[in-house]
Structure 1
Amino acid sequence: MRNGILRAARLFLCAAAAHAPVSASAAGWDVSKASSNFELVALSDAELTGRSISVIHMGNVELTSGRIVAADPLAQPDRPALAKTVAPGEYPVTLYQASGRIAAAGMRFAEGKPDHWELAVVPGQDPATLKEGEIFGYPVDAGLGCYMDADTLALIGEREAQVQAQKPDADVNYYDDVLASDLDANKGKYGLHRPIAGNKGNVAIFWSGWGDGFYPVFWGLDKDGRPLVLLTDFGVIENADGRREPTGQ
């Protein structure tokens, strides 16, 4: 079911409809109705502060292949990379926080305001197949989301093996044994994790809005279809505005 539309996702979308309304029309599925928060990436830090949204500049994620994985790094670290790729490089990740929650997470590839947006999919997914109330995204079962390069998964496996070798008679928990120290430095909300010291390839890890659920990812593109930004909407706010009392969990 990893590459399909999860039945649980439909239930989540019904519960979260007040945050991220999704619909389809006779002309096809409409990305503009899948999120009302695309303006986040076009506002300055000062403008966002005026809307009760604080900005966290996490630092750069190192994409060694340009194949991006957006997933719960504990529940589904081996999720397929997004179908669209970018040039290998180091790209900054920005978190948008409102009501004490991480409301959205963006990765910036080039400056500028997106001309249009499209739903980010993994191979085999086609937004044209979506029906009303459906959306592609990734499931969260550990309360975390991430951005990383697909190649970094091998480094996570290597780190886990190292920890297991140090504790041969214990069950290794990657969160407790590895990630917790990175996240604890930021009150557990986010961390830039490097699985293997000295190796290129790191992971931007962050709280996923209200926690477990199913969350969409979007590409912000220029007029020629080149990626400017990637945005994960965690359904905490509407209309890029954190001044309203959230209606979520």
Structure 2
Amino acid sequence: MQITPDRFFALQNGQPAGCAHPLTVHDLGELRVPSGQVEACDPFVTLGESGSFPVPPGTYPVRVTVADVSDAGEENHLREAYLSLVVADGDVAEVRPAELAGADLPAEDRYYGVGVDAGTVAFVDATAARTLMPEGTDWFEELFDTGAESSWFARMDDPDHLRRGAANIVLPRATDGENVVLCHSGWGDGFYPVVTTHDATGALLGLHVDLLVAGDLDEAGTDEDEDPQVAG
């Protein structure tokens, strides 16, 4: 199923027409992308090994759109709906399947995406992810879950860092602030499409992971392919 602007709700506060849930947008700081390639990954499983998507080199705001899926607006059941890299401001006129670096364009109504096995998605500069993590160490024990307040798990659980369930972390070997921005992945593990938004001239506005909480693709369901794509 093709995603259309009227059924795509990233970066919208309130309850847009056609959306089943109230939404709130939260700032996760900025992401440095000097290489112009954004890796979308599960940072605890495939950091530095996932596909990347081109954007102009630069530093961009990252935001998470959160849906309140609780009954009767009780605000006790929140799920991340979109992770978004904001390339430029503007009105969304078109939503396209993101182009995966080094791959053919996705077939009609199909989307490249990110596989999740640890309930988390992230954006990171692709070159930084491959070169600025420590070598010869167990990242889980040395970085992700050390028991210290500086561990990646602890940063995600700290409501005073950004918000509970999200973090913006400088990579261990960074020399110029290269970082990773991560958040929980909606309903958890799965395979999530990556899309781009464009204005009426075709200019790129943003790169988004659709976490299948709002919009059309969550209703259609998804299937992971070998190449990897997600069926709409």
Measured against the shorter chain, the TM-score band is: 0.7 to 0.9
2:141 maps to 1:172: yes
1: CA distance between counterparts of 2:56 and 2:125? 11
Against the structure 1 CA distance between its residues 119 and 157, is the aligned structure 2 distance closer, same or farther, given a 3 Å change threshold? same
2: CA distance between counterparts of 1:76 and 1:212? 13
Q: How does 1:17-96 map to 2 (within 5 A)?
A: 22=1, 30-32=2-4, 37-41=7-11, 43=12, 45=13, 52-77=22-47, 78-82=49-53, 85-96=54-65
2:81 maps to 1:103: yes
Query: Mean Cα displacement is larger for which, 193-202 or 97-106?
Result: 193-202
Find the structure with the greater CA-based Rg. Answer: 1
Q: Which has the higher strand share?
A: 2
Quote the offset at 1:86 in angstroms: 2.1
Q: Match of 1:124, as an amino acid?
A: A
Q: CA RMSD in A?
A: 3.0
SS at match of 1:127: coil
2: CA distance between counterparts of 1:76 and 1:90? 23
Of the three residues 85, 106, 110, the one matched with 1:127 is 106
Number of aligned residues: 195
SS at match of 2:200: coil
- Are the counterparts in 2 of residues 121 and 137 from structure 1 also a CA contact under 8 Å? no
Q: Match of 2:36, as an amino acid?
A: G
Encode CA deviations 1:23-48: one digit per residue, 9 max, x unaligned.
xxxxxxx343xx8642433x4x4667
Q: Match of 1:182, as an amino acid?
A: R
Q: Match of 2:10, as an amino acid?
A: L
Against the structure 1 CA distance between its residues 107 and 233, is the aligned structure 2 distance closer, same or farther, given a 3 Å change threshold? same
Against the structure 1 CA distance between its residues 46 and 202, is the aligned structure 2 distance closer, same or farther, given a 3 Å change threshold? same
Query: Unpaired segments of 5 or more residues in structure 2?
Result: 70-77, 217-232
- Are the counterparts in 2 of residues 151 and 201 from structure 1 also a CA contact under 8 Å? no
SS at match of 1:218: strand
Quote the offset at 1:174 in angstroms: 4.0
Partner residue in 2 for 1:149: 125
Q: Which has the higher helix share?
A: 1
Partner residue in 2 for 1:8: none
Of the three residues 197, 209, 213, the one matched with 1:236 is 213
Percent of paired sites with the same residue: 26
SS at match of 2:121: strand
Of the three residues 223, 227, 230, the one matched with 2:200 is 223
Quote the offset at 1:65 in angstroms: 1.2
Encode CA deviations 1:60-104: one digit per residue, 9 max, x unaligned.
11111111111111221111212xx22222111111112311111
Partner residue in 2 for 1:208: 185
- Are the counterparts in 1 of residues 197 and 206 from structure 2 also a CA contact under 8 Å? yes
So what's the TM-score if we normalise by structure 1? 0.68
Quote the offset at 1:121 in angstroms: 3.2
